[in-house]
Structure 1
């Protein structure tokens, strides 16, 4: 029985090195980087579009000669933005127009004094500067919501 056959323990191969990773990990890393780059590009484009919309809004209102002109410019900008979502929005008048402005909101922003100022402000000789500034803030928010929304 002892014919010279020497038995040895089984030796396991060593674990594969962690670097360089397998090709699948490289593909996964490239895909993740591509998605991140696309996300950053999309956010930058969206921010640039928002800045351009705000510049347009502010330029239109700054060009107005008085408070009544500013309210008229706000109304025109809102109607232009509303046509993107509701093609017949430029034909709405009075309460129907104000209802469209507040559609989809939890709390109405154009009911009451703001709505009256928006409807009648362009035809008034003098408008309260504080009320126009308050209206400007509400109109600017709604303008951005409608202009940034997908069709």
Structure 2
């Protein structure tokens, strides 16, 4: 007996218009592996710190301008009469050896108050003395309290040993003078 002839290989059944099961490679087409042609990504260079961008130059310029204006305003404030008078009153307050009691503070502050009035241009007020000077010192929102105003009006003329300052506290006198200077200088 003879062996039967081998059967032809089975061909897949294809429908008309269907693509073949294996892709056909045409000349000039990429290989089947699409990742084989990829290249590495090249990142751009880092952004340098210098030179600065125009926005940063503008910010630096505005900051410099603000600092200049602040310095100018502070300089002008220090040139004012009130600032200088308060600094002189602080020097009187710190010098406890020369100005230990209220009478010594009042004598030094009386000169300072007269200089403030003269610098402000109130030359007619410089001629005031006694009760008129006391009323001037006590007048206004920042005026001295009546007992301190009377004491300030008399302090330059009373001898140091007199008991005129018996009821006046040195710290209260300095605080009242500071308020008077802020309101009148």
- Scaled to the shorter chain, the TM-score interval is 0.5 to 0.7
Does the 8 Å contact 1:102/1:109 carry over to 2?
A: yes
Q: 2:103: which partner in 1?
A: 68
C-alpha distance 69-54 of structure 1, shift in aligned 2 (>3 A): closer
More helix by share: 1
CA distance in 2, matches of 1:146, 1:57: 19
Contact 1:67-1:129 within 8 A present in 2 as well = no
User: Aligned pair in 2 of structure 1 residues 69, 111: CA closer, same or farther (>3 Å)?
Assistant: same
Q: Unaligned 5+ residue runs, structure 1?
A: 1-16
Q: Does 1:34 find its partner at 2:92?
A: no
Q: 1:120 aligned to 2:154?
A: yes
Contact 1:64 1:70 in 2 (8 A): yes
TM-score by length of 1: 0.56
Counterpart among 70, 78, 84 of residue 119 in structure 2: 84
User: How big is the shift at 1:129?
Assistant: 6.2
CA RMSD after TM alignment: 3.9
Structure 1 pair 75/46, CA: closer, same or farther in 2 (3 Å)? same
Maintained 8 Å contact 2:137/2:149: no
Shift of 1:66: 5.2
Deviation at 1:118, TM superposition (A): 1.4
Distance 1:95 1:130 in 2: 18
Q: TM-score, normalised by structure 2?
A: 0.48
| Distance in 2 separating the partners of 1:134 and 1:90 | 25
Question: Which structure's relative contact order is higher, taking Cα pairs within 8 Å and 6+ residues apart?
Answer: 1
Question: Measured at CA, do residues 103 and 59 of structure 1 come closer, stay the same or move farther in structure 2, by a change above 3 Å?
Answer: same
SS at match of 2:53: coil
Pair member with larger Rg: 2
What's the secondary structure of 1:110's corresponding residue? coil
* Deviation at residue 78 of structure 1 after TM alignment: 1.0
